[in-house]
A and B are shown apart, each in its own frame.
Chain A
Amino acid sequence: MEAGTITTLYDLKEYLTGVFAARQQEISSNDTPFVAAKRAEAFKLFSKAGFPHAALEKWRGTDLSRALNHEYHTLPELPSAELDIDKIFKCDVPHFETLLVTQLNGWYADRKNLIKVYPNGMIIGSLAAAFSKYPELISEHYGKYADDKAESLTALNTAMSQDGIFIYIPDNVTVEQNLQTVNITDFKQNLFLNTRNLVILGENSHLRLVQCDDSINHDVTFINSVTEVKIGKNSSLDHYKLQNKDDHTTLINSMYFHQDEGSSLSTNAISLNGGLIRNLSHVTMSGRHSTADVYGLYLMDRYQHVDNQVYINHAAPECISRELFKGVLDDHASGVFNGHIKVHRDAQQTNAFQTNRNILLSDKASIDTKPFLEIYADDVKCSHGATIGQLDAEALFYIRSRGISESNAKILLMYAFAADVINKISIPELRQRMDDMVKKRLRGELSQCEQCVLNCSTHEHNKVEFKIDIAKI
């Protein structure tokens, strides 16, 4: 963020705790006693811990102080019941058939149908509405996987979030369509948003979920998003998080996955732009024979910052986790990768692999990469590797020797570097689209409005250009 956007030295914690005290009734208007108790407990935790700061081990490389030094509004009003989301957004990915679920400023957008039950038993709706409608599911899962004690921003979310998306897939259901959730922010002032989602997959069920963030205006936004995901026995989730935000946005995206026996998870966070992005992928494997594939790609420049925190908790034997994170950083961009693998004493025959590879294009760009293996079992296979480098000179020469210009050869190599992660996308239309977006990003042609898989149809004229400066490589 530019220095000019800092207005006052401001105590955001004091402001938010003040709002919580003054408007508690409004915040908890949809709460059941169970949810209210969680909220109160989380509020205490946040009040005590405050915002994360650089002295904390897991926040050493990410400085939130600039992002916190703004006057924000919080608790945005409910969207109008007449809101027609189709008029604001259209999906422009060819042949990308999705079941689209939208949020506006954190609120479930379809105010006329807060809960929808599908013929196969699938439930999609507002989390606030689900609190009282499905109290058993809520008390079994809500707040069970998110770690309010370890992450004060998660605690803040539990304390202050008002709504989000609730997804329930019953046993033995394969969801054929791709489920796409879009969180739109449209607010005329600086906005601090706590948005909360809960995804529950029963046994033997399968879901593909694409989560996108979008913004209509370009004011300063702080999005503190928490998603809890339960993947039941022998179920699978194929999950994507696509991030293409402007430089005024701080995006804290905390994902808590809980896997039962025989389940599989594939999650892929693709960060193309954003002022400050922190992705937490917290995976607990609680049953045998589960697999978790955790991938990430980040392409950052200017003063952008990206932080990927992965915590794989091998709590059961015979599970496999594979991590692959790759990034290109230019200008003054900075990055953090923190890969923590914990293998419990009885989690024998664990396979855990971790790779983080980075290309730095300028002297000022930086990456702080740290693997952390905590292993208490003796029969395990674990590996980790981190590389930081420049583009390979021999490969550049190879491409140039075919007549391809130096600048195009560099783009080709950066693209080849990123392709590893793009190729992990198993939805062909989405892979094609991300492929195009990465190419555009590398050529400096990607606009922020060309959001993830969506195009903001109302604000074409607001396009902001981002560019990795090839000339400086």
Chain B
Amino acid sequence: MLSIRNLKVSIKGKQILNGINLEVKAGEVHAIMGPNGTGKSTLAYIIAGRDGYEITEGEIIFKGKNILELSAEERACEGMFLGFQYPVEIPGVSITNFLRTAINEQRKYKGLDPVPAVEFMARMEEKKQLLELQEKLANRSVNEGFSGGEKKKNEIFQMAMLEPSLAILDETDSGLDIDALRIVATGVNKLRRPDNATIVITHYQRLLEYIIPDVVHVLFDGRIVKSGGKELALLLEEKGYEWIRSES
């Protein structure tokens, strides 16, 4: 699904990622953990195609394609999804219109006709039920006036609607109460399929009680310094990041 090889990235001359290697297979859930400021969000942004970074070395292969040359929207059309740590408010644009535009642009990329309105609305309803969302989403503007929890739930809802092959969730658990956390985690688990994969970026082990990862990576100083099974997350929780610092 995703292969990152020796990825080195700097921004304004300052090196942020120092040779990342990461292999994610279809059907897997990976967790990337690490202290603040070690490059977790940068890695997510770069995979999703944010401008403004200088990639000095390495490659990112997504479903067999080197995607470094592709724009953010092209990567999305190839099946990439990024759940934002701080989702952006877009006043005046309803979630319905936003998602319909996104789905239709993705369909256009694949040479498909726009999704019929009835089918689209049915899909909205189906995904809402799947995620056990109570909110009346359809006519609300994207993220406008949403609480932190609502914004994160809306990210998961968008993910459900867009049905990506690879979803990267950047600190989706930050700022969530336990109920919202459960909804987010349930969503991720329910949407899990043998042909898709998820990368969960998190600071705390808490989310991993709800989403069981196949592999846990520890990112430190722009490098993956440790990888292991789900027990690595518990070890981290117990010993703290200082332990990694001393190990590396």
- Whether B77 lies near A403 (C-beta < 8 A) is yes
Q: Tell me the complex Cα distance, A395–B90, Å.
A: 8
- Whether A406 lies near B71 (C-beta < 8 A) is yes
Interface residue? A419 (CB, 8 A): yes
Within 8 Å by CB of A420, from B49, B50, B91, B158, lies: B91
Q: How many residues on A have C-beta within 8 angstroms of the other chain's C-beta atoms? A: 25
- Contact status of A393 and B52, CB under 8 A, knowing A401-B82, A402-B76: yes
Q: Using a CB-CB cutoff of 8 Å, which residues 63-116 of chain B contact chain A?
A: 71-73, 75-77, 80-82, 84, 86-88, 90-93, 98-99, 101-103, 105-106, 109
Interface residue? B224 (CB, 8 A): no
- Whether B92 lies near A422 (C-beta < 8 A) is yes
Within 8 Å by CB of B158, from A392, A402, A406, lies: A402
Note all chain A residues with C-beta closer than 8 A to B48: 397, 401
Q: Tell me the complex Cα distance, A400–B49, Å.
A: 9
Q: Tell me the complex Cα distance, A393–B51, Å.
A: 9
- Whether B73 lies near A404 (C-beta < 8 A) is yes
- Whether A403 lies near B93 (C-beta < 8 A) is no
Closest B residue, CB atoms, query A421: B92
Q: Using a CB-CB cutoff of 8 Å, which residues 379-397 of chain A contact chain B?
A: 392-395, 397
Interface residue? A272 (CB, 8 A): no
What total count of A-B pairs have CB within 8 Å? Answer: 84
Closest B residue, CB atoms, query A405: B73
Within 8 Å by CB of B84, from A398, A400, A403, A413, lies: A398
Q: Tell me the complex Cα distance, A401–B169, Å.
A: 13
Q: Tell me the complex Cα distance, A393–B49, Å.
A: 13
Note all chain A residues with C-beta closer than 8 A to B80: 401
Q: Tell me the complex Cα distance, A405–B99, Å.
A: 13
Within 8 Å by CB of A404, from B45, B49, B52, B105, lies: B105
- Contact status of A400 and B72, CB under 8 A, knowing A393-B52, A405-B105, A408-B105: yes
B-facing mask of A406-449, CB < 8 A → 1, else 0? 10110011011011101100000000000000000000000000
How far does the Cβ of B142 sit from chain A's closest Cβ, in whole Å?
8
- Whether B109 lies near A403 (C-beta < 8 A) is yes
- Whether A404 lies near B50 (C-beta < 8 A) is no
How far does the Cβ of B197 sit from chain A's closest Cβ, in whole Å?
17
Interface residue? A399 (CB, 8 A): yes
Q: Tell me the complex Cα distance, A401–B81, Å.
A: 7
- Whether B92 lies near A398 (C-beta < 8 A) is no
Note all chain A residues with C-beta closer than 8 A to B92: 415-416, 418-420, 422-423
- Whether A399 lies near B71 (C-beta < 8 A) is no
Q: Tell me the complex Cα distance, A400–B77, Å.
A: 10
Q: Using a CB-CB cutoff of 8 Å, which residues 24-56 of chain B contact chain A?
A: 45, 48-52
Q: Tell me the complex Cα distance, A418–B93, Å.
A: 11
Report whether over half of chain A's contact residues are helix, strand or loop; otherwise say mixed: helix
Closest A residue, CB atoms, query B158: A402
Q: Tell me the complex Cα distance, A347–B75, Å.
A: 59
Interface residue? B162 (CB, 8 A): yes
Note all chain A residues with C-beta closer than 8 A to B105: 403-405, 408
Note all chain B residues with C-beta closer than 8 A to A404: 73, 101-102, 105
Q: Tell me the complex Cα distance, A406–B98, Å.
A: 14
Note all chain B residues with C-beta closer than 8 A to A401: 48-49, 72-73, 75-76, 80-82, 84
- Contact status of A398 and B76, CB under 8 A, knowing A403-B105, A408-B105, A419-B93: no
How far does the Cβ of A422 sit from chain B's closest Cβ, in whole Å?
7
Note all chain B residues with C-beta closer than 8 A to A400: 49, 71-73, 76
- Whether B101 lies near A415 (C-beta < 8 A) is no
Q: Tell me the complex Cα distance, A402–B162, Å.
A: 8
- Whether A403 lies near B162 (C-beta < 8 A) is yes
Q: Tell me the complex Cα distance, A415–B82, Å.
A: 23
Q: Tell me the complex Cα distance, A399–B71, Å.
A: 12
Within 8 Å by CB of B98, from A393, A402, A423, lies: A402
Q: Tell me the complex Cα distance, A416–B105, Å.
A: 19
- Whether B91 lies near A419 (C-beta < 8 A) is yes
- Whether B90 lies near A416 (C-beta < 8 A) is yes
- Contact status of A397 and B101, CB under 8 A, knowing A403-B162, A418-B92, A419-B91: no
Note all chain A residues with C-beta closer than 8 A to B109: 403
Note all chain B residues with C-beta closer than 8 A to A402: 73, 76, 81, 98-99, 102, 158, 162
How far does the Cβ of A268 sit from chain B's closest Cβ, in whole Å?
15
Q: Tell me the complex Cα distance, A401–B71, Å.
A: 9
Q: Tell me the complex Cα distance, A357–B105, Å.
A: 31
Note all chain A residues with C-beta closer than 8 A to B103: 403
- Whether B73 lies near A416 (C-beta < 8 A) is no
Note all chain B residues with C-beta closer than 8 A to A412: 90, 93, 98, 101
Note all chain B residues with C-beta closer than 8 A to A415: 92-93
Note all chain B residues with C-beta closer than 8 A to A420: 91-92
- Whether A403 lies near B76 (C-beta < 8 A) is yes
Q: Tell me the complex Cα distance, A397–B51, Å.
A: 8
Q: Tell me the complex Cα distance, A415–B101, Å.
A: 14
Which residues of A are at the interface with B, using a C-beta cutoff of 8 A? 392-395, 397-406, 408-409, 412-413, 415-416, 418-420, 422-423
**Minimum-distance CB pairs A-B, first 7:** A419-B92, A403-B76, A402-B102, A400-B72, A398-B88, A403-B106, A395-B88
Which residues of B are at the interface with A, using a C-beta cutoff of 8 A? 45, 48-52, 71-73, 75-77, 80-82, 84, 86-88, 90-93, 98-99, 101-103, 105-106, 109, 141, 158, 162
Q: Show 12 residue pairs from A and B whose CB-CB distance is below 8 angstroms, ordered by the A residue.
A: A397-B51, A400-B71, A401-B72, A401-B81, A403-B102, A403-B105, A403-B162, A404-B73, A404-B101, A405-B73, A419-B141, A422-B92
Given contacts A402-B99, A415-B92, A419-B93, 12 further A-B contacts (CB under 8 A): A393-B52, A398-B87, A399-B88, A403-B103, A403-B105, A403-B162, A405-B73, A408-B101, A416-B91, A419-B141, A422-B92, A423-B92
